[in-house]
Chains A and B, each alone.
Chain A
Amino acid sequence: MHVLLGSFAFMCIFPFLYVIIISISNEQSLAENGYQLIPEQWSLDAYKYLWDMKAQVLQAYGVTIFVTVVGTFLSVTVISMYAYAISRKQFKFRKQFTFIAFFTMLFSGGMVPFYIVMTQFLDLKNTMWALILPMAVNAFYIIIMRTFFLRSVPEAILESARIDGAGEMRIFLTIVLPLSIPGIATIALFSTLAYWNDWFNALLFIDDPNKIPLQSLLMRIENNMDFIKQNAMLSNQNSAILKSIPQDSARMAMVVIATLPIALSYPFFQKYFIKGLTIGGVKD
């Protein structure tokens, strides 16, 4: 059993190790021999290349961190409040609000209406909000959180708090939240990952190069490579296109710096994570 699990874990982590190895290989030996597990020559050129464009990379890093922190905070706040409200029997429109959240899981307007709402009604083009708001509320997490509150916060505690004269807000902040830390940590982790890895919203709404998050920077390079593949004729005439593509090892180095921080933060969440998921997984 241990051997099985161990080999499975290795299979999961191996691609990432490979990426790290490629990022510290010499470009010349990559060109000659393709990707190798143990390259002929090591080199840190790729990281030097990133260091040279540090202004852009740091800017993108800043955007990613800002969006992730603010976004996670906002989405945890909104989701837990919404979920708490619909978990309380005293709330009259509980069923309707549950339905409204649930409905969005089944039907969505599609990309173009979403784009129209974001750009023309809310006028969020080229703002940080365009990266934060679309992912702030997730119906599925609301349902998970609601179940979590129902299970882990006994009605009796709320009763006693009310008898002691606490208001709704106070009950929520000082009693319900501390009791539900595992659930909240789970949602927070999901949100953090989602925000960190999101590139699609930036592709749709951001034209200002200073507001591009890190993953989008990577995605742009990938998209440009696809484009060159399809329009080889064009790119030969216009070296400007080719100049926008970093080399293999540099691309892998970008993947490393984009993934490493989030991969390293995972262990800190883990202890909550195990509890949170099992409890939230039951629907009543």
Chain B
Amino acid sequence: MKKIGILSLVLLLLTGVLAACSGGGSEKSSGDSTDEEVKLTWYMIGTPQKDTKDVMKEVNKYTKEKINATIDMKMLDWGEYNDRMQVITTSGENYDIAFTSSWANNYALNARKGAFLGLNDLMDKYGKDMKKLIDPAFLEGAQIDGELYAVPANKEVGQQAVLSFNNELVKKHNLDISNVNSIADLEPLLKVIKEKEKNVTPIATFDAYLPFDSILQEELPFAFRLDGDTDEVVNKYEEEITMETLKTMHEYYKKGYIQKDAATSTDSWPLETPNWFVRKEIYQPYAEDVWSRSAGYEIVTRELHEPYIFNNSVTGSMQAISATSKNPERSMMFLNLLNSDEYLRNLLDKGIKGTHYEENEDGTIKDLPARVENYNMPSFAIGNQLILKLYEDDPKDKWEKFEEFNKNSTPSPALGFYFDSNPVRTEIAAISNVTSEFSPALLKGAVDPEEYLPAFNKKLKEAGMEKVLDEIQKQYDEWKKKQ
């Protein structure tokens, strides 16, 4: 009797599952033709906006006419995007396009896992227009073993760290920043600020700049040097330059130029509050104007190094097509439009003309309150930035400057080398733990590097540092041969 009860239950459950399985009809991909209307699901990063529905109505009118497809854009908030996409990917859910990058919904990892489609052929067929516009450095640098797995947004291709200064204070104390080229050069200026400005923290907490191309995350120890022997992977925390830089930072900390709780502080140092003198930022052409505008006072910058093209900068913002997509061709057509069609790109970014922005006679635009409140989109994450309309207070040559900046960026030695961390997963997890224990305090100057760096490196060794370095070196050498 007992058995029959359980058996019938199992049967009941099974039939339920089978019924559910057969429910999903298997639609065929429509391929080349655009006769059949399709709906594309697009996962985007960013805070959901009130007016997205209205804007998407307009977008869909246009895309329906152009490629007979409608777009269902789902925005997932910054802090959630990564976790949500992980679940969606693991569960094999069907979607078409998703934002991916080196810092959220990890590009290299997902591409290796097979979560994204390889796009080389699709791009040649349906992405001709955007291929002309996107800087080749992006298309080459983002390839993993010769295949591109997502469409990079065209923007600044190089990464350049700069020191930016609160110009009000520079002028007030007649400081000369023209010979500041490194963190060490700041000393005399910080001294003045510390003495004369009681309510200002001279340094808005930042991680010291170190001249390496990091493998995986920025704070992890594995890296390639940018000059000298660039073909050897090193532990950047054992390098001479790191010791020197961190000593300088700790000097500053001891002198009170850096906040006491720098190591654990979560302060985001909003620009609007002028309680700082110098900070570290990542530059793009005319960034100082943008910063000055949001700060409400002038901000000036000094570069710390020439712009380099890193893996992280070419994969900073991309759109991938899912391996589970039923309409990869149509998705590619949409991405092509998004990155080459000025009307569509601006509509998604700035909203509806007359509602969210006004256009002047010379083609420049001005935001209306509705955009700031109800349609504030993360411009850099959507697609090609160089076809966006300029604001009336933007310099006329803004996009030309971007192109110039891109031309002058130097590829890093390891550009295009994507390390496959699977063989040493456990070691990397252990190293990550050690790193998160030591690196914040060290990089922000809160502890003495002469004492803590050796201890840190000893723990890294125990966590299996050598094994990981060997694995990276092996993969790098193989990759280098193919170049």
Contacts and interface: CB of A to CB of B under 8 A. Distances in A.
Contact of A240 (B6, B282, B291, B378): B378
Contact of A225 (B87, B266, B287): B266
A237 B79 contact: no
Interface stretch (B89-97, B112-120, B330-338, B416-424): B89-97
B5 A96 contact: yes
B31 to A, nearest CB: 25
Contacts of A241: 47, 78, 378
Given A119-B93, A228-B268, A229-B266, A96 B376 contact: no
Interface in B43-77: 46-48, 50, 74-77
A31 B259 CA distance: 14
Interface string A94-130: 0110001000000000011001100111100000000
Contacts of B271: 236
A16 B78 CA distance: 28
A18 interface: no
B429 interface: no
B103 A237 contact: no
Contacts of A232: 206, 268
Contacts, number: 98
A242 interface: yes
B20 to A, nearest CB: 4
B7 to A, nearest CB: 10
Interface residues of A, number: 42
A2 interface: no
B266 A233 contact: no
A207 interface: yes
Nearest to A221: B79
A239 B271 CA distance: 10
Interface string B338-380: 0000000000000000000000000000000000000011111
Given A120-B24, A121-B17, A223-B77, A244 B92 contact: no
Contacts of B87: 111-112, 115, 204
Contacts of A155: none
A159 interface: no
Chain B CB within 10 Å — which of A93, A122, A235, A240 has the most? A240
Contacts of B206: 232
B270 interface: yes
Nearest to A207: B74
A238 interface: yes
B294 A237 contact: no
Classify the interface of chain A: helix, strand, loop or mixed.
helix
Contact of A224 (B2, B5, B74, B78): B78
A222 B378 CA distance: 19
B17 A224 contact: no
A226 B266 CA distance: 9
Given A96-B6, A204-B87, A242-B268, A223 B80 contact: yes
B344 to A, nearest CB: 20
Contact of A203 (B78, B83, B268, B270): B83
A223 B79 CA distance: 4
A233 B282 contact: yes
A116 B6 CA distance: 25
A151 interface: no
Contacts of B83: 203
Interface in B1-36: 1-2, 5-6, 9, 17, 20-21, 24
B74 A243 contact: no
A274 interface: no
B396 interface: no
Contact of A121 (B20, B80, B287): B20
Given A95-B2, A224-B79, A116 B268 contact: no
B197 interface: no
Contacts of A93: 5
B77 A244 contact: yes
Interface residues of B, number: 45
Contacts of B50: 209
B26 to A, nearest CB: 14
Nearest to A122: B20
A207 B73 CA distance: 10
B281 interface: yes
Contacts of A245: 268
Nearest to B377: A240
A246 to B, nearest CB: 12
B84 interface: yes
A242 B295 CA distance: 13
Contacts of B376: 240, 243
Contacts of B93: 116, 119-120
A37 to B, nearest CB: 20
B483 interface: no
B174 interface: no
Nearest to A216: B80
Chain B CB within 10 Å — which of A115, A204, A226, A239 has the most? A239
Contacts of B291: 236
B273 interface: yes
Nearest to B4: A93
B412 interface: no
B76 A207 contact: yes
Contacts of B9: 96, 100
Contact of B1 (A92, A222, A224, A226): A92
Interface of A: 31, 92-93, 95-96, 100, 111-112, 115-116, 119-122, 203-204, 207, 209, 220, 222-229, 231-245
Interface of B: 1-2, 5-6, 9, 17, 20-21, 24, 46-48, 50, 74-80, 83-84, 87, 90-93, 103, 206, 266, 268, 270-271, 273, 281-282, 284, 287, 291, 294, 376-380
15 contacts: A31-B273, A95-B2, A96-B9, A115-B87, A116-B93, A119-B91, A122-B20, A204-B84, A207-B76, A223-B77, A224-B77, A228-B268, A232-B206, A240-B46, A243-B376
Given A96-B6, A120-B91, A203-B84, 15 more contacts: A92-B1, A111-B87, A220-B77, A220-B80, A223-B77, A227-B78, A236-B281, A236-B282, A237-B281, A240-B46, A241-B78, A241-B378, A242-B268, A243-B376, A244-B77
Top-3 shortest CB links A-B: A223-B79, A121-B20, A227-B79
